[in-house]
């Protein structure tokens, strides 16, 4: 499997309302950190995640996290 495109070398903090979201795993989405279906026709699939209460989350932008979609600070190793 090839490595995803690094969208940024830092996380993105976003305020989310309850709902289901799709995190971009390929790194090619124009609506980072969320999926815009740029992965269609590739080996990548977005990661769906659900938020049950309004909160701020840190979403991975380097696509190297071991805890997708959340940042685990792997961007510090790039």
Residue 45, CB-side half-sphere exposure with 13 Å CA sphere: 3
Q: CB under 8 Å to 2, separation ≥6 — which residues?
A: 43
Which pLDDT score, from 0 to 100, does residue 4 have? Answer: 95
Task: Break the chain into its structural domains and give their ranges.
Answer: 12-77
**Amino acid 73: pLDDT:** 96
pTM for the model: 0.94
Q: What is the pLDDT of residues 4-35, one digit of tens each?
A: 999 999 999 999 999 999 999 999 999 999 99
Residue of 7, 12, 73, 3 whose CA lies nearest to 21: 12
φ/ψ of residue 21, rounded to 5: -125, 160
């Amino acid at each position: 499997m090839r490595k995803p495109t690094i969208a940024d070398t830092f996380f993105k903090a976003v305020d989310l309302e309850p709902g289901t979201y799709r995190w971009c795993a390929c790194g090619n989405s124009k609506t980072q950190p969320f999926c815009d279906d740029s992965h269609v026709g590739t080996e990548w699939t977005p990661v769906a995640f659900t938020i049950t209460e309004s909160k701020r989350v840190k979403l991975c932008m380097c696509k190297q996290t071991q805890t997708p979609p959340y940042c685990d600070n792997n961007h510090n190793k790039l």
